Amino acid sequence: MADQLKIGIVGAAGRMGRMLLQAVAENENCVLGGASEANGSPHIGMDAGLLVGNRESGVLINGDAAAMFAGVDAVIDFTVPAATAAHAKLAADTGCALIAGTTGLEEVHRAALEQAAKCVPVVWASNMSSGVNLMFAITERVARALGSDFDIEIVEMHHKHKVDAPSGTALSLGEAAARGRDVDFDSVKAGPREGITGARERGKIGFAALRGGDVVGEHSVIFAGMGERIELTHRATDRGIFARGAVRAARWTEGRKPGFYAMADVLGLDE
Please name which of 189, 165, 186 lies closest in space to residue 104, comparing C-alpha atoms.
165
Return the bridge partners of 218, or none: 157, 235
The angle, 0 to 180 degrees and rounded to 10, between the axes of the packed helices 240-252 and 130-146 is 90
For residues 90 and 68, is the Cβ–Cβ distance under 8 A?
A: no
Asked if 160 is an active-site residue, the reply is no
Q: How far apart are CA 37 and CA 64, in angstroms?
A: 8
Phi-psi region of 41 (alpha: psi -120 to 50; beta: other; left: phi over 0): beta
Q: How far apart are CA 170 and CA 196, in angstroms?
A: 25
Could you say which of 6, 89, 162, 204 is catalytic?
Answer: 162
Phi-psi region of 246 (alpha: psi -120 to 50; beta: other; left: phi over 0): alpha
The angle, 0 to 180 degrees and rounded to 10, between the axes of the packed helices 81-94 and 107-116 is 10
Asked if 162 is an active-site residue, the reply is yes
Q: How far apart are CA 96 and CA 8, in angstroms?
A: 10
Residue 218 CB neighbour total at 10 angstroms:
17
Phi-psi region of 240 (alpha: psi -120 to 50; beta: other; left: phi over 0): alpha
Could you say which of 87, 109, 158, 234 is catalytic?
Answer: 158
Which amino acids are annotated catalytic?
A: 158, 162
